[in-house]
């Protein structure tokens, strides 16, 4: 099976080593990794088109949904997940830290339990979605979510 690896891992300082390890792990599970680094494009439109083509070529998507530069997953990863879902492809998301959105916002962004409305709010007094899910419902509901790393996501593939 061809597996597209979505996530902010492409921004890691050790991205080449990470990609090598990720490809090997996918091979260990009998799959071929499609990594955003596989393209030769260097412009934003070119990279976007190349990644969309890789997702189209994939049988499934594995997505690193750890918070990236804030409380939420990488926005580019979310677009890739949404595109894969629209194509009807299975998506497995993984998170190392399994906590509710309310807990994560409070830990990372200084949220407050409530503002007198019995609803959780962040430090700017905006409501925080509270379904006890580890991600926004638009990600948590349609995906298979696992706690762990890429290996855990590979093990959870349908």
CATH number of 83's domain: 3.40.50.450
Q: Would the pLDDT of 112 be above 70?
A: no
Which domain does 123 fall in, by range? 99-133
**Chain centroid to CA 60: how far?**
13
49/127 same-domain check: no
Q: Both 24 and 74 in a single domain?
A: yes
Top pLDDT among 133 and 115 is at 133
Beta strands in 35-124 (DSSP E): 60-64, 91-95
Do 60 and 77 reside in the same domain of the chain? yes
State the chain's mean pLDDT as an integer: 93
Q: Are residues 13 and 61 in the same domain?
A: yes
Q: What would you measure as the largest C-alpha separation in the chain, in angstroms?
A: 53
pLDDT score for 116: 63
Regarding whether 50 and 104 lie in a shared domain, the answer is no
**pTM of this prediction?**
0.93
Tell me the pLDDT tens digit for each residue of 43-54.
999 999 999 999
Q: How many domains does the chain have?
A: 2
Query: 126 pLDDT band (50/70/90 cuts)?
Result: confident
Within this chain, do residues 108 and 47 fall inside the same structural domain, yes or no? no
Q: Cα dist. 51→3, 5, 35, 73 in Å?
A: 12, 10, 8, 18
Average pLDDT estimate for 65-93: 97
Same domain, residue pair 78 and 107: no
> Is 85 found in the same domain as 12?
yes
Q: With a cut of 90, say whether residue 34 has pLDDT above it.
A: yes
Please indicate, yes or no, whether residues 20 and 43 belong to a single structural domain of this protein.
yes
Mean pLDDT in residue range 104-128: 77
Residues 69 and 122 in one domain: no
Q: Between these two residues, 122 and 55, which has the higher pLDDT value?
A: 55
**142 plus 103 within the same structural domain:** no
Counting Cβ atoms within 10 Å, is residue 27 exposed (0-12), middle (13-18) or buried (19+)?
A: exposed
Do both 79 and 31 map to the same domain? yes
pLDDT tens digits along 87-97: 999 999 999 98
């Amino acid at each position: 099976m061809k597996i597209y690896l979505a996530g902010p891992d492409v921004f890691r300082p050790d991205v080449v080593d990470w990609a090598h390890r990720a490809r090997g792990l996918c091979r260990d599970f009998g799959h071929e990794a499609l990594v955003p680094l596989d393209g030769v494009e260097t412009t934003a439109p070119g990279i976007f088109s190349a990644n969309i083509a890789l997702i189209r070529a994939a049988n499934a998507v594995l997505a690193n949904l750890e918070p990236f530069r804030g409380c939420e997953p990488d926005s580019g990863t979310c677009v890739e997940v949404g595109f894969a879902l629209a194509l009807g492809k299975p998506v497995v998301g993984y998170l190392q830290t399994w906590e509710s959105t309310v807990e994560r916002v409070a830990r990372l962004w200084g949220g407050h339990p409530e503002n007198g409305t019995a609803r959780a709010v962040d430090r700017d007094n905006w409501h925080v979605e509270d379904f006890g899910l580890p991600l926004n419902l638009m990600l948590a509901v349609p995906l298979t979510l696992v706690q762990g790393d890429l290996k855990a996501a590979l093990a959870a593939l349908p």
